[in-house]
Amino acid sequence: MENRKPFIAGNWKMFKTCSEAVNTAGQLVKLVKHANDIDVMIAPPFTALVPVSDVVKGSCVSLGAQNLFWEDEGAYTGEISSAMLVSAGCKYVIIGHSERRQYFGETDETVNKKIGSAIKDDLIPIFCVGESEKERESKATFSVLDKQVKRGIEGFSTDDLEALVIAYEPVWAIGTGKTATSSQAQEVHQFLRSMLDKILGNMLAKSIRILYGGSVKPSNIKELMTMPDVDGALVGGASLSAETFSKLVHYQV
């Protein structure tokens, strides 16, 4: 893993009211207070960002959002800007999750704009890519990822992308209980890192963290994290319980 700091990120999706989110975050802060040398993030729904931000302040748990809109402000009913996320206490933002691509019409082009907006406001983008089951079966995995990554980061300088985090989430493994095997994950992560090497140079390719996402749970995290190019996990279902998520944070123990 070279010098990349492991990163365990929880995506709560459309789960938890404000009081539920505050409770879970409070439990998590206690359970992971001795976690060292690891970055931890939770991404509650928008409505819970501010109250959860108060709970995690001063702890090792950082706050992330699940989406943003790229304009600074304006008549865009229902949307939230990156500056608003910063003002709510966010450090990270998940961009281009496959559920947003599938249900909300996100494309590589809108993902690119969102990454640009996050960078401008010093939010760290967690840029999600991944192939569908059909694409994997037809051996298109690498070409799909090549296109998603290139279009997603097109137009940014190496300075812009210094803090970028990439999440490889095979769509067939999200919420399905089907995890990619550690060697399947490693194969793709290695491919992504060699792409980054070609596009951004060796320094950034070595420092950008690539997370795996898709049915990560306490029983498979250790194995995944032994892979040299897997730097962490983006976790959906198993991040909703503080106890289960804390086991993922403590995967080394």
Rule CB under 6 A: which residues touch ligand PGA?
11, 169, 174-175, 213-216, 234-238
Residue 92 CB, shortest distance to ligand PGA, in Å, is 13
* Cα separation, 87 vs 142, whole angstroms: 38
| 169 annotated active-site | yes
Alpha-carbon gap, residue 202 to 179, rounded angstroms: 29
- Closest approach, Cβ 14 to ligand PGA, in A, equals 12
Q: Residue 214 CB, nearest distance to ligand PGA (Å)?
A: 5
Active site residue 97: yes
- Beta carbon nearer to ligand PGA, 6 or 214: 214
Q: CA–CA distance from 240 to each of 93, 105, 174, 180 (Å)?
A: 18, 26, 15, 21
Taking the C-alpha atoms of residue 161 and residue 153, their distance in angstroms, rounded to an integer, is: 8
Residue 105 pairs in a beta bridge with none
Report the run of H or E that residue 71 belongs to, with start and end.
none
- Which residue is catalytic, options 99, 131, 169, 189? 169
Residue (55 or 235) nearer to ligand PGA, CB:
235
Give the residue nearest to ligand PGA (CB): 236
**Residue 15 parent element (H or E):** none
Nearer to ligand PGA, 89 or 130 (CB): 130
Tell me whether residue 118 or residue 128 sits nearer to ligand PGA (CB atom).
128
Nearer to ligand PGA, 156 or 244 (CB): 244
Query: CB of 126: closest distance to ligand PGA in angstroms?
Result: 9
Phi-psi region of 5 (alpha: psi -120 to 50; beta: other; left: phi over 0): beta
Question: What gap in Å lies between CA 27 and CA 246, rounded to an integer?
Answer: 9
Residue type present at position 127: F
Taking the complex as a whole, the smallest distance from the CB of residue 102 to ligand PGA amounts, in Å, to 11
Kindly state the tokens that stand for 20.
């539920």
CB of 76 to ligand PGA, least distance (A): 25
DSSP states along 121-178: TTPEEEEEE---HHHHHTT-HHHHHHHHHHHHHTT--TTTTTT-EEEE--GGGSSSS-
Q: Judged by CB, which is closer to ligand PGA: 113, or 217? A: 217
Choice among 2, 97, 99, 154 that is catalytic: 97
For residue 251, CA distances in Å to 32, 79, 247 come to 11, 36, 6
> What residues are annotated to the active site?
97, 169
